[in-house]
Structure 1
Amino acid sequence: MDYSYSMMKQLLASVRFLYEEVLQEEIDFDFNIRMKKPSRIPVVLSVEEVQRLLNSFTNLKHKAIFTLCYSAGLRVGEILNLKVKDIDSDRMQIRIHQGKGQKDRYSILSEKVLGLLREYVKEYQPADYLFEGQGGGRYSASSIQALMKRHKKKCRINKKATPHSLRHSFATHLMDNGTDTRFIQELLGHKHISTTQIYTNVSSKTLKDVNPNYSRMDAKW
């Protein structure tokens, strides 16, 4: 019988509780077992599914948020921490703050996404954070999660996709196009190349060197 990682942890904890708390007996066994947590294959949307999802947004702010998640491979927290000054239209880059003691990284900014952001900024005029809530300050992660759930249902996407799945899709689609794994690693901010290589499990093409300036957001969406 095969047991999942979480079930094995629960079984081990139950045995430990039985001997130490109920029977109050010592057992010659080391409970500090390190079990390797299995790596999960990321949920990835197809290019067509991403396009359907992004096109389903009529609210400009919502569309800009989800477009950035995909086009730059950003985490939800990174989206929420973006400030207006982090969008570098001269170098066509997005600066992502990594926190205290960590080196900031940069991701790609396509012409189409820049146009969308300019339209958004003109209409909403954010003062500090790029995406602000109704009362000012940062937009909320829970709102983004709720929007994803609503629009996924609207688009009839049955995969267990979350906003983070757009980041997975960004990496996988770049890999499908043949983008070098090291470049994808830099864009995603992965410390170890092995973290990036998990996308080879869902990529449909063999890796090869291509123009690193490629972006799916230059396609029709």
Structure 2
Amino acid sequence: MAGTAEHEAQIQAFGNYLEEKKKSPGTVQGVLLDLGQFADFMAKSEKSFAALAEADVEAFGSELRAGGKSEKLIHRKFKAIKSFYKFLEGQGEAPDMDEMISESKAYILSLPRPLTIDEMKRFIIACGDLKRRAIFTAMYESGLRPDELSRLQQDDINWDDLFLVVKNKAGERDRLVFFSRKLKDLLKKYIRSRKDKLPNVFIEDKGRALRLAYLQVVFVETAKDAKIEGHIALQSLRRSLAAHMIEQGIDIGHVAQILGLKNTNSLDVLVPVTGVRANDYQKFISALDL
């Protein structure tokens, strides 16, 4: 444990909470070590956790990078910090910090990297069955988040006009996402191959809705089969779409709209030095020949 006595007490309370949630001892210990390092950082400026500012997030990321920490390790630490602040918010001990942390450059730089177009093609080729190919092609082409993909219903898709409706949480606007005829054919083929009558577009092998854990496992398996290495994860697919669209000259504001982003902060690190040019989304998707 580290930091001030107040820091230590809050971290220990979070550790107890994780244990109550049946997290493994190794996971709890790793999280507490990461938070201890963060507490040391906050203590140097005599700040409470509740006083966290964006400048602190950036400075902590810079300190980790200056110390030679990998982006994968930095991302793990930021994930622990984000979870910790959600706990503090629930306890009434800190305001909602999630958006501030998530939109900081320090956090964005730590995110799993996008795949190159060549890697993306290899990834899709490595999908061993129709369902896996349909899931990951849809995730990449539509830029859906895992939870949005798992909620997607067949009635949310307009097959004639080639768009789907992403239903968001209460208070947030739904968004339209267009897709290619090639994806339409793939999804239709996958849905026809199923024997169930569930309304979900995608299901697991046992006939239940997709879970994040399932998607993570099959992503890792497929990436391994495709011989793709480095700091990648399930969210790399969404980041890959953003990077590839920007590289092809599609306006960054349009990319943000497709991905359902409130601003373009998380896309800034993907913009090529040459800037962006106007282009067409459907032509881009078709050119990939996935």
Aligned position for 2:139? 69
- Measured against aligned partners, the alpha-carbon deviations of 1:150-169 in whole angstroms (never above 9, x if no partner) come to 11111111122111101000
Whole-angstrom CA distance in 2 between matches of 1:58 and 1:207: 35
* Residue of structure 2 in register with 1:11 after alignment: 40
- Counterpart amino acid of 2:107? S
Inter-partner Cα distance in structure 2 for 1:204 and 1:89 = 38
**Which of the residues 92, 100, 103 maps onto 2:170?**
100
1:25 aligns to what? none
In 2: Cα distance, 1:70 partner to 1:135 partner: 24
Fraction of identical pairs, as percent: 21
Answer yes or no: is 1:40 the counterpart of 2:114: no
Give distance in 2, aligned partners of 1:47 and 1:208. 19
Using the TM superposition, give the Cα deviation of residue 56 of structure 1 relative to its aligned residue in structure 2, in angstroms.
0.9
Contact 2:251–2:278 (Cα < 8 Å) also in 1: yes
Bigger mean CA offset, 160-169 vs 130-139: 130-139
**1:83–1:130 CA contact under 8 A, matched in 2:** yes
Of 134, 138, 142, the residue aligned with 2:209 is 138
Residue 148 of structure 1: CA displacement? Answer: 1.1
Find the residue that maps to 2:282 and give its secondary structure. coil
Residues 124-146 of structure 1: per-residue CA shift (max 9 Å, x gap) = 15521111234433112111101
Aligned mates of 1:123, 1:52 — CA distance in 2: 24
Further displaced range: 92-101 or 165-174: 92-101
Distance apart, 1:212 and its partner CA: 3.8
Match of 2:121 in 1: 51
**Structure 2 match to 1:185:** 256
* Counterpart-to-counterpart distance in 1, 2:180 and 2:274: 23
The residue identity in structure 2 corresponding to 1:198 is V
2:279: which partner in 1? 210
User: Which AA in structure 1 matches 2:212?
Assistant: A
The two structures have a TM-score, normalised by structure 1, of 0.82
**Which one has a larger percent helix, Structure 1 or Structure 2?**
2
- What SS does the corresponding residue of 2:231 show, helix, strand or coil? coil
If asked which structure has higher relative contact order (CA below 8 Å, sep 6+), I would say 1
Change (3 A) 1:30 1:131: closer
Equivalent pair of 1:145/1:162 in contact (CA under 8 Å): yes
Secondary structure (helix, strand or coil) at the match of 2:176 reads strand
Does the 8 Å CA contact 1:183/1:212 hold for their aligned counterparts? no
Deviates more, 1:37-46 or 1:166-175: 37-46
Whichever residue aligns with residue 258 of structure 2, its letter is: L
Distance, in Å, in 2 between the alignment partners of 1:216 and 1:205 is: 21
How far apart are residue 84 of structure 1 and its match?
0.8
Q: RMSD across aligned C-alpha pairs, in angstroms?
A: 2.3
Give 1:40 deviation, angstroms. 3.0
Residues 121 and 40 of structure 1: CA distance in aligned 2, closer, same or farther (over 3 Å): same
Amino acid at match of 1:93: F
Distance 1:106 1:120 in 2: 22
What is the CA-CA distance between 1:83 and the residue it aligns to? 0.6
DSSP 3-state at the match of 2:107:
coil
Alignment CA distance shift 1:152-1:109 (3 Å)? same
Superposition deviation, residue 205 in structure 1: 5.0
Gaps spanning 5+ residues in structure 2: where? 1-33, 59-105
